Structure 1
Amino acid sequence: MPVADAGTDVLIVGGGPVGLTARALLARWGVRALLVEKHRELSPFPRARLVNVRSMEIYRRLGLTSGIAAAAFAPEYGRIRFRDTLHDRDFATAAMVGVNAPVPESPVIGAVTSQDRLEPTLLAAADGRVRFGTELIDLVEEGEEGEEGESVLATLLDHRTGQETRVRARYVLAADGANSTVRQRLGIGTTGPGALAGFTTVVFDADLGRWCAGQPAGVYFTPHGLFAPLYPEGGWAWFAPTPEDAAHADWAGLVSRALGPGAGVHVDVVRVQHWTMNAFVAERFRRGRALLAGDAAHAIPIVGGLGMNTGIADVDNLCWKLAGLLHGWAGPGLLDTYGTERHPVAHRTLRQAVTNTHLMLDVQNRRRAQLRAGAAPSDRIELPWSPRYFAQLGLVLGVSYDSAAVLTDGSAPSDRPGAGTHTDADTDTDTGTDYVPTTRPGHRMPHLPLAQGRSTLDAVGEWFTLLTPDPAYWEQQKAAAPWPLRVEPLPSEHLDVCGLSAQGALLVRPDGHVGARWRDRPPGDSALRHALAAITCAASRELS
């Protein structure tokens, strides 16, 4: 007979980077959360390899960047190298812009680090309850209040004791992977290619320094699989299609052969993991009080390092909205904007990852054609993309939201919900490469210097931020508003780039996206209150 639990505000299902980031974000908002993970401990496998610049901006708000960087590789590892075998010279190479060196568009730099080094840092970032070895086996929404229940009743199974527990939560945040139990329980389907192929990761130790130490990279791409250094102090991983009869495979022999003839390297296999590369987007990200994030919402192929980072951006978008509902300053319609805003991003990211995969294969096809034509092994090839391609800053920093939680011109909600994501305020290009900073509502607030070495991004936190060259006037409007709000002086030298007069203002949401913009001082003394009520979908209550 299941026993009852004290309950929680948010039940997080899944203890990977997305679930752990959600837990840390909710803790900053003072939201009670319980995280359950069916495995008995954090994953020992390297899995995701890249924390991109936008994710590092989110982690900067959480005070985690120094800890992440301490376990990561030096920036020069932010590069991909293409070789015929690992001990050959590069025939092509590409930098991961925003990772291999700082970019002026951000105060932080991305990091090449293995997921098993990232997760302990995220776990230590909050004190909320965590239950490892505990699996969600049932989920029922209960109670009636309008069109949805008042809470969710989850049944959890402790794999250590066999004990079932029932937990009542106000909301469920499902970050339980591509084979999400929660998504299946909710009956939410997926669109896209689905399972693409089976792959195997072999973690091994070997002395490969004489081929790689002078030419560091986060990934070495060869026709015989991908090789990746795991940790600054040592260790490697080999990623390749799962062979037939994998249960009886000689993994040390397979890795040795993949290193190329004449390598003469002893390979000591540490662990082996089989996994499926998926490519899909859930048909919806919410049903009632249960919401999907990360791979549960969208499975993105690994080329380009977009999957985990997209999930981190999901919960950055979602957690402030959950906090607003739980703390009483947001209306229930605010949760609808989560899917409206993030669903188009997921589709676009999936398209980009498929494009990345085709471009990688194109490099290999060009190489084979070059060798058939009699080229020397040392000859380089022309890459099928521009040098700035792997920046993908338009996709990473240029995401724009179009929903009821964004006000056009600082006055009225957008009349085009779910219109998609953009990278340029004027042209709305969809290349994913170029990033044009803009303060147009819906876009990420650009990185601009403030006093004492701070960035405009440092003004963002567990509150709405009003950036203005006229803080005294806007402080008066702030009085008696129930929303968490801070007014931050904006230096006059930024007025042109922000599109403001000396009396204008930008209202930035807790996730760093511009929610409203007043180019000039608005008439009356209620513009800020009206904007906050509209953005948080609390207008019917706050303005009545």
Structure 2
Amino acid sequence: MTGTDAETAVLIVGGGPVGLTARALLERWGVSTLLVERHRALSPLPRSRLVNVRSMEIFRQLGLAADVTSRAFAPRYGRIRFRDTLRDGDFATAAMIGVNEPVPESPEIGAVTSQDRLEPVLLAAARAPVRFGVELLGLTERPDGIVAELADRERGETTRVRTRHLLAADGANSTVRELLGIGTTGPGAMRGFTTVVFDADLDAWCARQPAGVYFTAHGLFAPLYPEGGWAWFAPTPEDPDHADWPGLVARALGPGPETRVDVLRVGHWVMNGFVAERFRHGGALLAGDAAHAIPIVGGLGMNAGIADAHNLCWKLAGVLQGWAGPRLLETYETERHPVARRTLDQAVANTRLMLQVQHRRRDQHAAGDPTAPFELPWSERYFAQLGLVLGVAYRSPAVLPDDATTLEPPDPGTNYVPTPEPGRRMPHLPLPDGRSTLDALGEWFTLFSPEPDRWAPPTAAPWPLRVEPLRPEPAEHLGLGSHGALLVRPDGHIAARWDDRPANDAALADALAAITRRVAAPKR
């Protein structure tokens, strides 16, 4: 049976955190969407475990941060502990900076929470239609958009959907990426892993030393929910269909009293590491794991995908609503592809350092001195990674550099220094009414200036724009003169900067036109 044709502005393929975030963002812009997910429901597996501080800022913009935090662990769980077995004491530990306690660079704090607790919050954040159990079979590109063929396996129906743009958030084994013939670069499939979700009373070894992850020689253990539950992550055995999962988990816990292990579910998956060669093909755009599969160490993959959606959705809205030119979408790949490469490199480095921990610990045991002080192969701030998640610097036609703008994005490292430079995330500063500068951002461009009357929105301008007054102190902190201004994009990145009074009254309109690709960039 073939259903009647449907139409939507954006078809989102994939109902994980990235697709659901894109759906919520686009609904805020008034863009019609349809999300299809081949599974019949949200995933019951915990999967990703960390929502970093930048993702929490995005969820704050959507009004979701408090709901995410209410379902998450307390900040004291923002720590990783290293043990020989779960029943042993720590031989080392490290804080997850920006998760274990607030940082002055942000109004938000990251959260340790399971993906199966995050996804229902994101699903409830928008009313746009979602169709579970629906799989993409094929797509045809046309001059005015894409026609996607969808199959509802349960109903035995196929439907054609016409859409202006298709957003592929369908995971590392992306059907969309395969249909478009987009290749990948990187290590590829690295190893098969199994996640075992189980119940057991482990308070005697963990309650007084909480952590988001316990890294042992026999796999990773992670508490799942504040009220209870555990997950064990380990390499998949040779014959997983006949494995004694309760016995394997019990042995992995280490020697000690018999502990009852109730296995609730088991999931097998492959850890991938790659970046797609392209993030766009015509009207189709890749985001999240479809664009870049990131190894799990460091909790970077899902968060990078959420940042993809934040970067992309305002651009899609601008093109669809006519206040941006079609070429604005070219800046999505220009800006996010280098970030994906750096994120993959960081995750691979994280994995190597974790292996170093194992090797050093084995050497310590071999030397007969397991109680000697253990030195981790990184500084305490290694797990901060704030430079990677807050220090992103975009370089594209959607950013107008000034004379002081660094030409090349810096190596983010582990530290983050707030910088009011075009391309960078707007620094967090308090406003007179107690809000953060980040709270002034939304579905619009925001212009911050100590002289707001001087920067009135251009008459009959098509762009969504709000002007936010700055007091002298934060203006000085941002390096602005009494007549200067910062123009910030809807995704929170600075688009243009005027240290003081611009050369002419058309400067703001010219900048917005250039940034949104409605006209050629003005001559400098």
Interval containing the TM-score (normalised by the shorter chain): over 0.9
| Residue of structure 2 in register with 1:68 after alignment | 68
| Residue of structure 2 in register with 1:492 after alignment | 472
Does structure 1 retain, via aligned residues, the 8 Å contact 2:447–2:465? yes
Q: Give the direction of change, closer, same or farther, for the CA distance of 1:182–1:438 in structure 2 (3 Å limit).
A: same
Does structure 2 retain, via aligned residues, the 8 Å contact 1:465–1:510? yes
Q: Over aligned residue pairs, what C-alpha RMSD do you find?
A: 1.6
Which secondary structure does the structure 2 equivalent of 1:235 belong to?
strand
Q: Counterparts of 2:221 and 2:369 in 1: how far apart (Å)?
A: 25
Offset, 1:490: 1.3
Q: Counterparts of 1:215 and 1:10 in 2: how far apart (Å)?
A: 46
Q: Counterparts of 1:156 and 1:188 in 2: how far apart (Å)?
A: 21
Q: Counterparts of 1:375 and 1:58 in 2: how far apart (Å)?
A: 47
Offset, 1:415: 12
Offset, 1:375: 1.2
Offset, 1:431: 4.8
| 1:46 pairs with 2:46 | yes
Offset, 1:83: 0.2
Q: Counterparts of 2:75 and 2:406 in 1: how far apart (Å)?
A: 43
| Residue of structure 2 in register with 1:524 after alignment | 504
| 1:464 pairs with 2:457 | no
| Residue of structure 2 in register with 1:175 after alignment | 169
Does structure 2 retain, via aligned residues, the 8 Å contact 1:177–1:294? yes
Q: Which moved more, 1:432-441 or 1:340-349?
A: 432-441
Query: Mind listing any 5+ residue stretches in structure 1 that lack a counterpart?
Result: 143-148, 423-427
| Residue of structure 2 in register with 1:291 after alignment | 285
Deviations 1:462-482 (A, max 9, x none): 00000000001101x533211
Which secondary structure does the structure 1 equivalent of 2:433 belong to?
helix
Deviations 1:106-143 (A, max 9, x none): 0000000000000000000000010000001101111x
| 1:452 pairs with 2:433 | yes
Q: Which moved more, 1:516-525 or 1:120-129?
A: 516-525
Deviations 1:215-260 (A, max 9, x none): 0000000010000000000000000000011110000000011001
Deviations 1:448-497 (A, max 9, x none): 1101210010011000000000001101x533211000000112112333
Q: Counterparts of 1:366 and 1:491 in 2: how far apart (Å)?
A: 53
Offset, 1:540: 5.0
Q: Counterparts of 1:500 and 1:158 in 2: how far apart (Å)?
A: 56
Deviations 1:137-172 (A, max 9, x none): 101111xxxxxx211000000011110000000100
Residue number among 348, 367, 373 corresponding to 2:367 in the alignment: 373
Residue number among 433, 438, 441 corresponding to 2:414 in the alignment: 433
Q: Counterparts of 2:120 and 2:150 in 1: how far apart (Å)?
A: 24
Does structure 1 retain, via aligned residues, the 8 Å contact 2:92–2:374? yes
| Residue of structure 1 in register with 2:5 after alignment | 5
Amino acid at match of 1:433: T
Q: Counterparts of 1:81 and 1:158 in 2: how far apart (Å)?
A: 45
Q: Counterparts of 1:263 and 1:196 in 2: how far apart (Å)?
A: 35
Please give the residue correspondences for 1:333-344 in structure 2 after superposition, counting only pairs within 5 Å.
Answer: 333-344=327-338
Q: Counterparts of 1:415 and 1:519 in 2: how far apart (Å)?
A: 16
Which secondary structure does the structure 2 equivalent of 1:277 belong to?
strand
Does structure 1 retain, via aligned residues, the 8 Å contact 2:514–2:521? no
Q: Counterparts of 2:67 and 2:522 in 1: how far apart (Å)?
A: 41
Q: Give the direction of change, closer, same or farther, for the CA distance of 1:62–1:313 in structure 2 (3 Å limit).
A: same
| 1:80 pairs with 2:61 | no
| Residue of structure 2 in register with 1:146 after alignment | none
| Residue of structure 2 in register with 1:99 after alignment | 99
Amino acid at match of 2:495: G
Query: Mind listing any 5+ residue stretches in structure 2 that lack a counterpart?
Result: none
Please give the residue correspondences for 1:340-489 in structure 2 after superposition, counting only pairs within 5 Å.
Answer: 340-376=334-370, 378-409=371-402, 422=409, 428=410, 430-475=411-456, 477-489=457-469
Residue number among 293, 305, 310 corresponding to 2:299 in the alignment: 305
Amino acid at match of 2:374: I
| Residue of structure 1 in register with 2:15 after alignment | 15
Does structure 2 retain, via aligned residues, the 8 Å contact 1:51–1:309? yes
Offset, 1:541: 11
Q: Give the direction of change, closer, same or farther, for the CA distance of 1:431–1:380 in structure 2 (3 Å limit).
A: farther
| Residue of structure 1 in register with 2:136 after alignment | 136
TM-score, normalised on structure 2?
0.98
Offset, 1:379: 3.6
| 1:225 pairs with 2:205 | no
Offset, 1:5: 3.0
Which secondary structure does the structure 1 equivalent of 2:164 belong to?
strand
Amino acid at match of 1:105: E
Q: Give the direction of change, closer, same or farther, for the CA distance of 1:532–1:314 in structure 2 (3 Å limit).
A: same
Which secondary structure does the structure 2 equivalent of 1:523 belong to?
coil
Does structure 1 retain, via aligned residues, the 8 Å contact 2:392–2:412? no
| 1:534 pairs with 2:514 | yes
Which secondary structure does the structure 2 equivalent of 1:530 belong to?
helix
